[in-house]
């Protein structure tokens, strides 16, 4: 049996831009697939399945014999072959991202691990969202910042605030690392640690700055005292202060001017952080306060850059709001470099399997009598849910990863982007380190057309033939 | 220092019903808080913090000395005291669900674990969502089912389909278990296993039934063959078949009648599962097909019950859609018992920290000179984000958990619902088993008023005093 996994749409159902950053398979592979089953595991499972059933029934079907057999035959490794796209590749929607093959007595186990593999939707969706945010930020930089889209400031413009909004620590690692493919800025330390020590040979991947949260501001006798303390420790570098503990407008009008001289004396860069109210208005208010208190320089593109002061908006940020804020900032004549963003739940939690419509579908089966059949799902009225028939391969056509039937000689082994990463046990995989992955993502994302027909001629013919033969 | 965690609103910002089912602290406590730090951990952390910093800075502040000191003094256990509400308690919004206290040299570590503890938002939000779904189902049962809201069918009416839509396995366990507080039905086997063997002494907690998914339907020569195979294995019990692999309307009009005789002969219960199209229309279409093919009985409440056949809708279900479908079902004269629901991403993933607006806030600090201060955040223009000052206690007033200042003699130790669950290391905790938790949730949820003012008179006075004294 053969099954494959596919994102059936671009981010948020976008038809104009169906690109994605494929990421996260290594984690799933190393954490779950490389785990060897033991006889004790099978006995525990049997005990569980015997009791997990509606009252009228006897027991939940569990192929215990097959599990015991692969423990013996494959040293406890799950008996499937898994092919997958390389980590960090950019493809358009509908390109299979993995393919599972099971054969012989183990054929029925093909989709047994479907649930675990399907979870690839998460890191891929976060990596894609974060990359799209980078597109928006780069466009605003191109228009309003010296150095444009390649300014060294870009990688710190979207900071990951999502740790506490995650469901679990495991999620924070996976989602946080996906974001780090596109940006440096993160307070999701679990992910920064994992990226640095597990995926990048100990070389740092993430950055952050000292920043106050409300408890720091409110535990000082006044906000002014809290900020002066920050200046005394970090004033020559860069630091952020949250400004809405009591009254945001008053803090901008009275507290910021009262610390201006100390901050100018320290010579560093202070970041004002609004945290409630309308995000667009809150950012503009902070920029206007910065202009008034610290002054601005006008850059060669004609935009104002506040001196030694900027803003980070970390409340209520999603892709849409980020675009709105940047549009308003530029409209008011400020340069995009004066604003950074923090995205929390919007980055790591407010996505789901439907965001890019991920599914695993069976595509090929060989019956007990040896007859092969290519199969597909074709629900009427929902053409996006149609699945491809047969074993599949992916190769670049004019640079664009395109789907072919695996058989028929269309795709040579070395051209196939679906590489075997596991085969009834571990195989030798070469993983790029994280810095290399980042470079690959940046290059491939820019080079890939925003939308493309990824179905090759031979596959289209096959789809038509299967539909005809099976009258579907 | 003292900090506490609070849900600032009811589910989805609901002001009419601010109840919640508090759940999940045991997992966080046992998984993260009971982990002993080692010197090696601290050295790894130091290495990480030294490099996690914006380029201009030297290193990220990390209180290494404090970590080494608590390893020595508290055997590696994190040096805080944690109080929390009991698992499975129902409270209204704004009741503190946990409180962290740190003292002496370790005071600065008070909110160091805030991120981990804040993740309590997730299981509590899922448990609350699932409970609210049960309210909707019970109301429809009361109106249209023999036995009403206490029918033994209720616990299987909302089935957890969410495993594959989770970000990670850890999330599936936590979210899936939260759902099981309210219902029996689950295919999130990770959670059913955990609930049974870790939380319920091995006694089963979840149920499920044999069911086809698309790969089963499409790998048979026809849908009819696939269903006949299911009947041959499970026809005398209860089983489900997904019906939209090719053409849902045609499957209802042609395939279902063609297997009717075999199914009637087997004598069990067949569940039709739509999986695309408009959920309301798809359910009604299936019920009408069931009526036509299998016939109906009319129950004592005047509603039609299809004979040996029902529907499960597992696509596109959230709280709103579930209500709409049940309203349409009853409107068409069918009994609610003919319909079950599967909720996937809607149950386990499409929630976030804002769904019930969870936050942890500092409330009390003793300065280096010994002066104590009660502190609070009071952002203008967002009164829901105001936090309480001082150490807090919770006791029932007229049955309703209500918030008091901890000091002042308002709440006796044994009345305080915030119980110490950890104190600079493990303490003896007694946990109810899962069946007891379920009973508690059902009773407390029904008994708690939907909305209540949870701020006691003494706390309101204290809030006013702190605002006055601090001019905020």
Please write the tens of the pLDDT for every residue from A67-124.
999 999 999 999 999 999 999 999 999 999 999 999 999 999 999 999 999 999 999 9
Q: How many residues does chain A have?
A: 472
Integer angstrom CA distances of residue A105 from A1, A70, A364, A448: 11, 10, 16, 41
Among B53, B197, B207, the residue with its CB nearest the CB of A53 is B207
Among the listed residues B212, B199, B183, B216, the one whose alpha carbon sits nearest the alpha carbon of residue B322: B183
- For an interface test with B, which of A379, A434, A463, A469 has the most B Cβ atoms less than 10 Å from its Cβ? A379
pLDDT confidence band for A470 (50 / 70 / 90): confident
Q: Are B211 and B241 in contact (CB under 8 A)?
A: yes
Listed in sequence order, the DSSP H helices in B181-278 are: 189-199, 214-219, 223-234, 248-250, 256-266
pLDDT confidence band for A388 (50 / 70 / 90): very high
Q: Is B169 in contact with A116 (Cβ distance < 8 A)? A: yes
Please write the tens of the pLDDT for every residue from A145-155.
999 999 999 99
Homologous superfamily in CATH for domain A209-338: Aldolase class I (3.20.20.70)
pLDDT for the residue B355: 98
* Among chain B residues, CA nearest to A217: B377
Please write the tens of the pLDDT for every residue from B54-101.
766 667 788 999 999 999 999 999 999 999 999 999 999 999 999 999
Residue numbers in B near A219 (CB within 8 A): 1, 362, 365, 373, 375
pLDDT for the residue B58: 63
Hey, where are the domains in chain A? 2-123+351-469, 209-338
Say what the ipTM of the complex is.
Answer: 0.95
Integer angstrom CA distances of residue B96 from A431, B174, B391: 46, 21, 10
pLDDT average, residue stretch A346-361: 97
Place of tokens 């991120």: B115
* Burial state string for A54-75 with b = 16 or more CB within 10 A and e = fewer than 16: beebeebebeeebbeebbeebe
- A93 C-beta neighbours (distance < 10 Å), count: 23
DSSP letters, A399-449, are TEEEEEESSSSSS-TTT-SSEEEEESSB-------HHHHHHHHHHHHHHS-
Please write the tens of the pLDDT for every residue from B254-281.
999 999 999 999 999 999 999 999 999 9
Higher per-residue pLDDT: A375 or B138: B138
Q: Is A196 in contact with B48 (Cβ distance < 8 A)? A: yes
Q: Is B164 in contact with A353 (Cβ distance < 8 A)? A: yes
Residue numbers in A near B114 (CB within 8 A): 164
Residue numbers in A near B175 (CB within 8 A): 167
Q: A56-64 long-range CB contacts below 8 Å, 24 or more apart?
A: A56/B237, A56/B238, A56/B268, A57/B209, A57/B210, A57/B234, A57/B237, A57/B238, A60/B208, A60/B210, A61/B210, A63/A108, A63/A109
Q: Is B189 in contact with A52 (Cβ distance < 8 A)? A: yes
Among B111, B122, B163, the residue with its CB nearest the CB of A167 is B122
Q: What does CATH list as the number for B2-123+351-469?
A: 3.20.140.10
Distance CA A472, CA B161 (A): 28
Q: How remote is the C-alpha of A220 from its chain's centroid? A: 38
Q: Is B52 in contact with A204 (Cβ distance < 8 A)? A: yes
Residues with Cβ within 8 Å of residue A428, at least 6 apart in sequence = none
Among the listed residues A332, A156, A127, A324, the one whose alpha carbon sits nearest the alpha carbon of residue A240: A156
Distance CA A431, CA A43 (A): 35
- Locate B172 and state its tokens: 């599936």
pTM of the shown model: 0.96
Among the listed residues B113, B131, B116, B100, the one whose alpha carbon sits nearest the alpha carbon of residue B440: B131
Q: Is A215 in contact with B111 (Cβ distance < 8 A)? A: yes
pLDDT for the residue B57: 67
Among A163, A214, A248, the residue with its CB nearest the CB of B115 is A163
Q: Do A2-123+351-469 and A209-338 agree at the fold level?
A: no
Please write the tens of the pLDDT for every residue from B15-56.
999 999 999 999 999 999 999 999 999 999 999 998 888 766
Please write the tens of the pLDDT for every residue from B189-199.
999 999 999 99
Taking the alpha carbons of B51, B52, B58, B63 in that order, is the dihedral positive or negative? Answer: negative
Strands (E), B93-175: 96-101, 158-160
Q: Is B215 in contact with A61 (Cβ distance < 8 A)? A: no
């Amino acid at each position: 049996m053969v099954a494959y996994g596919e994102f059936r749409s671009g981010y948020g159902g976008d038809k104009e831009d169906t690109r994605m950053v494929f990421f996260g398979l290594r984690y799933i592979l190393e954490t779950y697939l490389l785990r060897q089953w033991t006889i004790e595991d099978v006995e525990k499972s049997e005990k569980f399945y015997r009791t997990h059933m509606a009252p009228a029934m006897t027991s939940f079907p569990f192929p215990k014999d097959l599990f015991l057999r692969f423990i013996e035959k494959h040293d406890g490794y799950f008996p499937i072959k898994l092919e997958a796209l390389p980590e960090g590749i950019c493809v358009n929607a509908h390109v299979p991202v993995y393919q599972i093959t099971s054969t012989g007595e183990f054929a029925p186990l093909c989709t047994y691990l479907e649930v675990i593999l399907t979870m690839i939707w998460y890191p891929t969706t976060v990596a894609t969202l974060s990359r799209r945010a980078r597109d928006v930020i780069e466009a605003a930089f191109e228009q309003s910042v010296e150095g444009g889209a390649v300014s060294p400031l870009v990688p710190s413009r979207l900071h990951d605030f999502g740790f506490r909004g995650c469901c679990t620590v495991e999620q924070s690692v996976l989602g946080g690392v996906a974001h780090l493919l596109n940006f440096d800025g993160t307070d999701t330390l679990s992910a920064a640690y994992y990226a640095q020590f597990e995926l990048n040979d100990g070389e740092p991947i993430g950055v952050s700055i000292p920043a106050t949260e409300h408890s720091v501001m409110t535990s000082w006798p006044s906000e002014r005292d809290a900020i002066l303390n920050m200046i005394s420790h970090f004033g020559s570098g860069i630091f952020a202060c949250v400004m809405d503990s009591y009254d945001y407008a008053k803090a901008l009008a009275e507290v910021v001017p009262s610390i201006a001289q100390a901050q100018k004396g320290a010579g560093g860069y202070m970041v004002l952080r609004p945290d409630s109210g309308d995000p667009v208005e809150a950012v503009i208010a902070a920029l206007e306060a910065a202009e008034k208190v610290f002054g601005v320089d006008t850059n060669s593109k004609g935009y104002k850059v506040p001196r030694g002061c900027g803003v980070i908006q970390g409340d209520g940020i999603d892709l849409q709001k980020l675009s709105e804020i940047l549009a308003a900032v530029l409209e008011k004549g400020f340069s995009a470099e004066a604003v950074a963003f923090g995205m929390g739940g919007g980055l790591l939690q407010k996505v789901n399997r439907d965001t890019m419509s991920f599914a695993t579908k069976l595509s090929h089966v060989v019956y007990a009598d040896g007859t092969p059949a290519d199969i597909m799902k074709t629900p009427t009225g929902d053409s996006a849910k149609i699945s491809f028939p047969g074993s599949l391969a992916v190769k670049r056509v004019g640079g664009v990863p395109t789907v072919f039937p695996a058989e028929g000689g269309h795709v040579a082994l070395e051209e196939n982007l679906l590489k075997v990463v596991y085969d009834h046990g571990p195989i030798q995989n070469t993983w790029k380190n994280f810095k290399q992955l980042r470079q690959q993502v940046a290059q491939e994302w820019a080079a890939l057309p925003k939308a493309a027909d990824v179905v090759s001629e031979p596959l289209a013919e096959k789809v038509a033939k299967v539909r005809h033969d099976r009258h579907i």
